[in-house]
Amino acid sequence: MIMRFLKKVPAGMMIVPLIIGSFMNTFFPAALKIGSFTTATFSNAGAATAMGIQLFCLGTTLQLKDMPKVFKRGGILLISKFLIGAAIGIAVGKIFGFNGVLGLTTLAIISAVTNSNGSVYLALMKTYGDTTDCAAMALLALNDGPLFTLIALGASGLANVPFMALLATVIPIIVGMIIGNLDDEMRKFLEPAGNILIPFVGLTLGAGINLTNVLKGGVPGIILGLITVFVGGCFIVFCDRIIGKRPGYAGWAVATTAGNAVAVPAAVGLIDPAWAPYVSGATTQVAASVVVTAILAPLMTNWWARKYGAPQMEIEKKL
């Protein structure tokens, strides 16, 4: 009964647990923090572990000959995501100044649109894509933080690139890939675990979302989320289809705002004091965009995959 329900909901294996987790974190946060295995499994504290294991299992399925495809797909998504976020934000800044338009500043727009939610992307690619799509997350980790926002604002020379954080993201994939290439039996044993972890990733990701952030961000925050998904998403899908010759489902999956992006305005404000007065408003708006995009991007990915095709959709048809 539960499985049939999850299959009927778009991206249900991830989005239903995500909504449950966000509801619990918003209204009953103490229930997720009672400690021990409960907190480790069902709260946001377990997100990094669940994703790390998922990336490791993904790595075992990735063959060395697949790496050129990984860099091509990931590079197209990464660059197009950055270009559309920078273009919108800079255009608003040039036309309307630091204060922006509709309550949205350049800082909020670039922080939200250039940063993608790796957790949502990976879960969606496990649901709709293939191993190459999943492995592209190693490249997308580059936009998780203030670096691309600072580049777009013309302050890249002051950026502190978190090299060790990027290295830590790809190590599980690399270790898994080594094992998978050395031992075919281990690859076959570990491969199914990636799909099993999808609802746990969704739940722990949701447990880090507070639904009240939508209210705090107000209408500008909701508009920012819609811009990130629909304006940013359309451009990324266009690039994915025209340049990458792909169906485009991955473009919608990357049309999100990363949870870490909430801290980006403050980081920018510390590096460039000229933006300090806009940090508070931008932070609440980016937080709202995180929530809005985490819900809308999976729905758009599901709709697009069913309409235009995706690897897992083709497998389902054959079954």
Q: How confident is residue 317, by pLDDT bands cut at 50, 70 and 90? A: low
* % of the chain surpassing 90 pLDDT: 24
pLDDT of residue 163: 61
- pTM comes to 0.74
Residue 157 pLDDT exceeds 60 = no
Residue 161 pLDDT exceeds 60 = no
Render pLDDT for 90-147 as a digit per residue (tens, 0 to 9): 888 888 887 888 888 888 998 899 988 887 898 889 889 988 898 888 778 777 666 6
Q: Is residue 319 part of a domain?
A: no
Range of the domain at 105: 11-308
**Which three-class secondary structure state does DSSP give residue 162?**
coil
Q: Is residue 95 part of a domain?
A: yes
Tokens 């670096």 sit on residue: 147
* CATH code for the domain of 208: 1.20.1530.20
Render pLDDT for 227-285 as a digit per residue (tens, 0 to 9): 999 999 999 999 999 999 999 999 999 999 987 687 678 777 776 787 788 887 888 88
More confident residue, 194 or 16: 16
Q: Is residue 212 part of a domain?
A: yes
Q: Is residue 3 part of a domain?
A: no
More confident residue, 226 or 177: 226
Tokens 């990984």 sit on residue: 70
Residue 160 pLDDT exceeds 50 = no
* Structural domain total, the chain: 1
Q: Is residue 6 part of a domain?
A: no
Q: How confident is residue 158, by pLDDT bands cut at 50, 70 and 90? A: very low
**Stretch 177-200: mean pLDDT:** 85
pLDDT of residue 112: 92
Residue 155 pLDDT exceeds 60 = no
Q: List the alpha helices (DSSP H) in the chain.
A: 2-8, 12-27, 36-42, 47-60, 67-96, 106-113, 118-128, 131-135, 137-140, 147-152, 163-182, 184-190, 193-196, 198-206, 212-226, 232-242, 249-253, 264-271, 279-308, 311-318
Q: Is residue 317 part of a domain?
A: no
Q: How confident is residue 10, by pLDDT bands cut at 50, 70 and 90? A: low
Residue 90: which H helix or E strand, with range?
A: helix 67-96
Q: Is residue 234 part of a domain?
A: yes
Average model confidence (pLDDT) for the chain?
82
Residues 6 or more apart in contact with residue 174 via CB below 8 angstroms: 59
- CA 106 from chain center: how many Å? 21
Residue 169 pLDDT exceeds 70 = no
Q: Is residue 146 part of a domain?
A: yes
Amino acid type, 225 = G
